[in-house]
Amino acid sequence: MRNQLVITAILVLSAAVLLAQSAQTPAAARPNTSAPTKVTGDSVKTASGLQYWDITIGTGEVAKEGSHVKVHYTGWLTTGKKFDSSVDAHRPFEFTVGKGEVIKGWDEGVTGMKVGGKRQLRIPPELGYGASGYPGVIPANATLIFDVQLLAVK
């Protein structure tokens, strides 16, 4: 009986230590999703009107048309209102580049990224949700800002 009590106490203490360690993850290790990353320098502006800044250049495989990719992202309106985040949901998003599974600005903006890279996309309405918007979330003709991190290319 006493051994069982000791074992239970050890298990409870171990669980408490693990929970305390995970709760104390340094702020630098958690991406900040409250506002878009502050970008400096010149952006790349494509013929379609997409603008992007490479925040971090990855060192892994390059995403190209037909690549199945896994990303983390957070999206904001130009007003600063966050409307979606895979980071906050702890659930990376996967899609195939160039297959129309996402808005055109994503297909174009993720192309050329390397795994481990982080890029900020400014997507004009015609490459996003256009005149229709996404009712209740994204107004009509909204320019969208996304911080996108490429996690994997398959």
* Residue 93 designated active-site: no
Whether 146 is a known active-site residue: answer: yes
CA-based nearest residue to 149, from 77, 40, 76, 63: 63
Separation of alpha carbons 127 and 83, rounded Å? 17
Is 92 exposed, middle or buried (CB count within 10 Å of its CB: 0-12, 13-18, 19+)? middle
Two tokens, residue 12: 């409870």
In degrees, to the nearest 5, what angle opens at C-alpha 126 toward C-alphas 98 and 139?
115
Check if CATH label 3.10.50.40 holds for domain 44-153: yes
Catalytic option among 52, 107, 123, 129? 129
How many distinct helices (H) and strands (E) make up the chain? 3, 7
Whether residue 73 lies in the annotated active site: yes
Spot the catalytic one: 52, 84, 145, 147.
Answer: 84
In order along its 154 residues, the chain shows pLDDT tens digits of 444 443 333 333 333 333 334 344 344 455 678 899 999 999 999 999 999 999 999 999 999 999 999 999 999 999 999 999 999 999 999 999 999 999 999 999 999 999 999 999 999 999 999 999 999 999 999 999 999 999 999 9
Which residues lie across from 62 on neighbouring strands? 114
Domain ranges in the chain are 44-153
> Which residue out of 55, 83, 93, 134 is catalytically annotated?
83
Catalytic residue among 52, 107, 145, 146: 146
Task: Identify the three-state secondary structure at position 38.
Answer: coil
**Annotation marks residue 147 as catalytic:** no
Residue 134 is among the residues annotated as catalytic for this protein: no
pTM: 0.80
Query: In sequence order, which residues have a C-beta less than 8 Å from that of residue 23 and are 6 or more positions away?
Result: none
